[in-house]
Amino acid sequence: MTKQGLLEIERISADQTVDIRHVVLWPEKAKPDVVLPEDADGTHFGASINGALVAVISLFETPEGIRFRKFATLPEWQGKGVGTQLLTHAIQWSRKKGERRIWCDARVSALPFYARHGFAAQGGVFEKSGVAYTVMSREL
């Protein structure tokens, strides 16, 4: 529950993630550019407020642990706890699977968010499509 309404987190299809990924992460690119080749193999969750999808996250099993990608919350819902609840759900889901680590390539602009949730930087900064990233991980 948020002050704005009922929050629900549920498993969604990869196709359901595309619009939010596009609007939040890469609005200047074509919509097909936010689709990952491995989306069919991933597990995707969405956070909805009163039935409207407002945030998405995609999880992939890797030898290094669960990798999450394309974690995005609509701008009007950022800073209201929706992303925190969705990330917490992803962490709990990963633990239930018996995973020991969760990680992502995090935009440098989002590092304070991940640090507040127990993630630590692993290595230096690198660029993808002109955006600065670093690997952030957390033991489970």
Task: State whether the Cα torsion 125-129-135-138 is positive or negative.
Answer: positive
Q: Residue holding tokens 């018996």? A: 98
pLDDT at 134 over 60: yes
pLDDT tens-digit readout, 3-53 = 567 899 999 999 999 999 999 999 999 999 999 999 999 999 999 999 999
**Superfamily in which the 7-100 domain is placed by CATH:** Gcn5-related N-acetyltransferase (GNAT) (3.40.630.30)
Question: Residue 70's pLDDT is what?
Answer: 97
Question: Residue 2's pLDDT is what?
Answer: 53
Name the token pair of 37.
């080749």
Question: Residue 3's pLDDT is what?
Answer: 56
DSSP state of 50: T
Question: Residue 54's pLDDT is what?
Answer: 98
Rg (C-alpha) for the chain, rounded Å, is 14
Residue 23 in 3-state DSSP?
helix
pLDDT at 1 over 60: no
Question: Do strands 65-73 and 101-107 pair parallel, antiparallel, or not at all (unpaired)?
Answer: parallel
pLDDT tens-digit readout, 43-99 = 999 999 999 999 999 999 999 999 999 999 999 999 999 999 999 999 999 999 999
Cα Dmax for the chain: 40
Question: Residue 43's pLDDT is what?
Answer: 98
Question: Residue 31's pLDDT is what?
Answer: 95
